[in-house]
Amino acid sequence: MRADPGSVEWGAAANWNPRDAGVDLWCGDLRYSPGDERVLTVAERQRADRFVVRARGESFIAGRSALRRVLAMYVGGEPRDLSFDYGPHGKPSLCGDNAAVRFNLSHSGDKFVLAVSRECEVGVDIEELRAERRLVEIGKRFFAPEEHARMCATGPEGLSDYFYRLWACKEAYLKLHGTGFSFPASDFCVALEPGTPRLEWTRLQEDVPTRWRMERINLPFEGYRAALCSEREGELHAFVAASPT
**DSSP structure string for 60-121:** HHHHHHHHHHHHHHHH-S-GGG--EEE-TT--EEE-GGGTTSEEEEEEETTEEEEEEESSS-
SS3 of residue 26 by DSSP: strand
What percent of the chain lies above the pLDDT cut of 70? Answer: 97
Q: What is the pLDDT of residue 195?
A: 84
For the chain (length 245 residues), average pLDDT per consecutive 10?
Answer: 62 95 96 91 93 92 96 95 91 93 96 97 96 90 97 93 97 94 94 92 95 96 97 97 74
Q: In Å, how far from its chain's centre is CA 223? A: 16
Report pLDDT digits (tens) over 146-189: 999 999 999 998 999 999 999 999 999 999 999 988 899 999 99
Return d(Cα 189, Cα 231) in angstroms, integer. Answer: 18
Q: What is the pLDDT of residue 245?
A: 58
**DSSP secondary structure letter of residue 4:** P
Q: Are 112 and 243 in contact (CB under 8 A)?
A: no
Report pLDDT digits (tens) over 177-186: 999 888 999 9
Q: What is the pLDDT of residue 193?
A: 87
What is the rounded end-to-end Cα distance, in angstroms, of the chain? Answer: 42
Report pLDDT digits (tens) over 115-137: 999 999 999 999 999 987 799 99
Return d(Cα 44, Cα 26) in angstroms, integer. Answer: 22
Is the preceding omega at residue 194 within 30 degrees of 0, hence cis?
A: yes
Return d(Cα 106, Cα 218) in angstroms, integer. Answer: 15
Q: What is the pLDDT of residue 1?
A: 30
Q: What is the pLDDT of residue 6?
A: 64
